[in-house]
Structure formats: C-alpha cells, structure tokens
Chains A and B, each alone.
Chain A
Amino acid sequence: MVVEDLVKRFKDVVAVNGISFCIKREEIFALLGPNGAGKTTTIHIIATLLKPTKGRVLVAGYDVVREADKVRKKIGIVFQDPSLDNQLTGYDNMYIHGKLYGLKGRELHEKIMKLLDLVELKDFAHKKVMYYSGGMRRRLEIARSLLHEPEILVLDEPTIGLDPQSRARIWDYIKYLKKEFSMTILMTTHYMDEAEELADRIAIMDKGKILAMGTADQLKSMLGQDVVYVTVDNMNSGINNICNMFSFAKICKALGGNRLELVVDNATKALPEIFHIAGSKGLKITEVSYRRPTLNEVFLHLTGRELRDSPESHPIPRKRMVRFR
C-alpha cells in the first residue's frame, strides 16, 4: 500500500497535510498520534469514504479514487465508531456483510461460524447486537472485517474505550492474525503501548503531518540513551547560551514552559554535572527529571508537547450552514 503526498482539506481545516508512507506486505503499520492528528481522515480516504484533495493512494495496486470498487474488495475495515446494526443479531450482521461482499450459501455460513468462534462470540451469535458489551461489539466488528478474506486489514483505534481486559484480548487477536495469516495490517492508535506492542513500524503523526517513521527502536534511538528534563526559573539568558553550558548533551532543545530537553548517554552521571554547571553560572533549576526514552519522549521531542495532553481538535466540517442537520 502506498500513500503519496496526501492532502485532505475540509472547508476551513486542513486535516491531512501532505503525508507519504508505504506499507509492506505482511507488516503491521501503526499511525500514532493524538486525537485530531488526521489519522481517521487518512483511514477514511484509504477506505474510499472520502476523496483526497491532493495526492495519490494505492491499495494493493489500485487507486482509491479511480478503482474504488476494487480497493473495497481488498480491504477489511474496523471503524473507530461502531458500524454495526444494533437491531440485528451478530449472525445477521455477519450474514449481510458476507452477502454484500458476494459470499453465499453454506460457505458463508461456515465462515461466519468459524470467525465467531475465533472471537469467542459463537454463543451470542443469535443475540441482538444491542445487548452486546463494548468489547463484544469490537470483536464482532473484527470478525466481520475478516469475513471476505481481505488482503489488508485496517483498524482505526481498535481498542478505544475498552477496559484493560478487552484491550488485551483484542491485542491477542491482532497478534494471532499476524502469526497465523501473515496479514498486512494498518492501524491507528493514540496509545503508545499499543503501537509499541503490536506494530512493526510506526509513523508519528501530529496536525496532519508525519513527523517521524520507523520501528519503535529506531524512533527511540533518535533520542539516544537517556533524556533529562530540566525546568529553570527563567530563560532570560537565551536558549543558545544555556545550551552552550551543557555542551556534553547530544541534543539540547527548549520545550514549552521554561523546560529543557537534554539527551545524554547516562543520566545518573550527567545529573550531578548539570547541577554543578547550573550552580556555577547562576541558573536556578526548579525541577529535574529523567527518563529512558519511550515513544512519549519521542513525541515530546518532536512536538514539544506530551502525547497525552494534546488538545482535542477534531475537525468538524462546517459547510452549507443553512441546511438543517
């Protein structure tokens, strides 16, 4: 799957701003980023539900705009929001999906039962979906997306809003699909642990752009061994002067709120040195912490913000305001 210079502009918001990536066969690729980063918009374009403003997307060699029907056959998708018919049973939801994808008869029935068995919903097959729990609905949606044996599975925030047990279970299914069927999977998530646990490669996305891409280890090694965060009482002497003091740091960068990021080889040895230098130059340190880099530190490094405190800014297309909706 190839995404080239993709741009999606809604009336007054640019949701996706020129992203490119490609996904190899049998790989799990994760788009990691806060809400409003443009992940779901990207997914909707790949799923042929939105038309790109600019750029090209090829899924299994087919163009999502010109050959939408071929693309639709190749992908199985689990949306972020539920997309089940609550008033029908789990079995009927699967059955209708199968028929929409051209399956029928005994073959369809057997596939449905096999997949319901896989996601442990066989006993609830003939219960209406409205009585399912959130985790059960998600599992049903995953089973449904696999029914037509897609080449690429697209999971948009597969574990959002689920309790830890249900999340772990979904993770197990995803790992199982990779192991047993060598499935190509594109997923989005705003959980760092999820991306790290499941994905072969991760693209960090924020404000419609991809900031970095690589395996979890590659991303973390952008930062070296340890990261020290120093908060000082003021930055009046200028960031360059302050950074010159700490010349031993591999990276020295100002973050928001008088906070400095220093990437060092060994934080335990660097800390006393930092205090010593700061003391001798009259710089007052109010707070110090250090962490082994995780994807959160990578995100912080790239954006100056923590992943978890990114503002919610979901683009709501405001158009044709006279209409009643």
Chain B
Amino acid sequence: MSAFNAFTAMMYRQLKRWWNARSRVIMTILNPLIWMVFLGLGWGSIFNPQNIPSIPGIPNIPNIVEMLKSAIDNYFKQLFGGVGYVAFMLTGVVVMTAFMGSFISGISVIWDKQFGFLKETLVAPAPRSVVILGRIVGDSIVTTIQSLVIVMLSTILTNEINLVNTPLAMCYIFIMSLGFTSLGTAISLKFRSMEGFQMVVNLMTMPLVFMSGVFYPVTTMPEWMKLLSKFNPLTYSVHAVRYWLANADVGFEYMDPLTDLTILTMFTVAMMIIAMKTFEKTTLED
C-alpha cells in the first residue's frame, strides 16, 4: 500500500510541475504546430493532382488530362494510404510530438540532480522501482495530453481525421510515451549536465523520426532505411496511430494494429525494466 502511495506521489509531482509551468506547455505545442502548418500545407499542395494541367507539354485534351489526374491521384492515394498528404503527415506529427516530448522529459532527472531533489527521492524508503515508475507514468500522461491537443488542432487543417478513434490512438501514444520516457530517464540518470543529454537527444531523435514514416511512407524508403526502420519502435506507433486516426494503412505488409501493439508493449516493458534497474543502482557518484 505504501508503495502505491509513493507511485502516486511522484506522478502527482510530475503533473503538478508541468501544470505550474504553463508557459512551457505552450512551447511544446507550438513546435509541432510549426511543422504541421508549414510542412503540411506547403507539401500538401504539391501532392495535389489539381495542379497538373498547368504543366507545359501535356496536350490539353480533356480525356488525357482526366486520365493523368486520376492516375496520379491514385498513385498518391496509394502511397499515403488513401488520404491526402496533410492528413498523412499530421497523424505522423501527433506521434512525433509524443515521441519528442517523452524522450526529452527525461531531462527533469538532470534538473533534479542539479537542484538536489533527486537526493530526496534516493533516500526515500519506498522501492526505487516504484518511485521511478511514478515519474515515468506522470511524464507520459503529460506527453499524451500534449499529443491530444495536437490531434484537436489538426482538425483545423484537414477534415480527414477520424476523431471517434482518438481514444484508441491515444492508448498507443501512451504506451509509446512510457517506453521513450523510460529510455530518456535511464539515459539522463547517467548524465550530470544538460548539454550532454541534449546532445544525445539531438543525435537520436531526428534519425528516429525520419526513419519512422512521419513525413514520408516507409514503403518508398531505400532498402537499408527500410531495414533500419523495422527496428524503430516509432515506426509501429506511427503506423497504428495513422491507422486509427486517418484510416490509412501505410506500412510494411506484416504490420497491423495488433502487431504494432505487441511490439510497442514489448519495447516499453524492456525500457521500463532498464530504467528501474538503472535507478535502483543509482548512487551519488553517477
């Protein structure tokens, strides 16, 4: 019973801190919004076949233009799983927001090291695994809420989002957030400075995002990138969230929401165990 108390205490603390820093909340939403507006709307019209007839060299014969239009339209529809590029990308950005947010939330451990609060949690008699789990769950709730806000905002830019399935998509987001928060937390337990952690974040997040199918489908990637993206847990959450939010099934042939769930859960459990083990071994020397 007391272990559960410690869990809720840490969860409460992470949520309260987030709520107390509301100006930061705006920032975490602003960044994905920039991607959505500029990249989404900018690229969106390129993939729109309505712009075809103005290309010089295509004979202006109505049938041929119609044929070309529908051929190109079909091609893009097939690439993006039957939806326009805007809906395709926005559903990816929802996952990206959760991913970035959860990975970076590990930095609060470094803050706590510098301001001394980590010592307070290290001398507490509650099991360390429970303490760190409380943190991770608290932070994951925060990132899930943030991506929910992004989903709501994305309905302004496209009408192809299926809001009915949002709770389902959020389940995937939450599970993935738990995994990446655990990873970020475990890494930052080993760091003392923000700069070092920031570097790891920069080195890891961008490649992972680009190899997950957020901005372009995994199916059109070069073979080596395809191979790598199969080992990227983000690929599976992008696929699942897109599946539920946009009804678009873009991914490798073996992927379906259940496979995604299995792989994500396995990843998350593994990361949680790593984070718990790391925290259990933490002394002031790290």
A residues bordering B, Cβ < 8 Å? Answer: 10, 44, 47-51, 69-70, 72-73, 75, 77, 79, 81-88, 92, 95-97, 99-104, 128, 317, 319, 323-325
Q: Is the CB of B193 within 8 A of A324?
A: yes
B199 cross-chain contacts in A, Cβ below 8 A: 324
Q: Is the CB of A128 within 8 A of B121?
A: no
Q: Is the CB of B6 within 8 A of A100?
A: yes
From known contacts A83-B116, A317-B285, A319-B285, infer whether A101 and B13 are also in contact, taking CB-CB under 8 Å. Answer: no
For the complex, give the distance between the alpha carbons of A75 and B120 in Å. 12
Chain B contacts with A in 1-31, Cβ cutoff 8 A: 1-2, 5-6, 8-10, 12-13, 16-17, 20-21
For the complex, give the distance between the alpha carbons of A278 and B255 in Å. 98
Q: Is the CB of A84 within 8 A of B116?
A: yes
Query: What total of A-B pairs shows CB separation below 8 Å?
Result: 103
B192 lies within 8 A of chain A by Cβ: yes
Q: Whole-angstrom distance from the CB of B13 to the nearest CB of chain A?
A: 5
A87 cross-chain contacts in B, Cβ below 8 A: 17, 20-21
Chain B contacts with A in 108-138, Cβ cutoff 8 A: 112, 115-117, 119-127, 131
From known contacts A83-B116, A83-B119, infer whether A49 and B283 are also in contact, taking CB-CB under 8 Å. Answer: yes
For the complex, give the distance between the alpha carbons of A267 and B147 in Å. 80
Q: Contact residue range for chain B?
A: 35 or more
Q: Is the CB of B120 within 8 A of A83?
A: yes
Chain B contacts with A in 196-215, Cβ cutoff 8 A: 196, 199
A101 cross-chain contacts in B, Cβ below 8 A: 2, 124-126
A128 cross-chain contacts in B, Cβ below 8 A: 20
From known contacts A69-B125, A69-B127, A88-B17, infer whether A325 and B285 are also in contact, taking CB-CB under 8 Å. Answer: no
- Other CB < 8 Å A-B pairs besides A317-B285, A324-B196, 8 of them? A49-B284, A83-B116, A83-B117, A84-B115, A85-B112, A101-B124, A128-B20, A325-B191
Interface majority SS (helix, strand, loop, mixed), chain B: helix
B284 cross-chain contacts in A, Cβ below 8 A: 44, 49-50
Q: Is the CB of A49 within 8 A of B122?
A: yes
B223 lies within 8 A of chain A by Cβ: no
Looking at B123, B125, B127, B195, the one whose CB has the most chain A CB atoms below 10 A away is B123
B125 interface neighbour in A51, A102, A324, A325, Cβ under 8 Å: A102
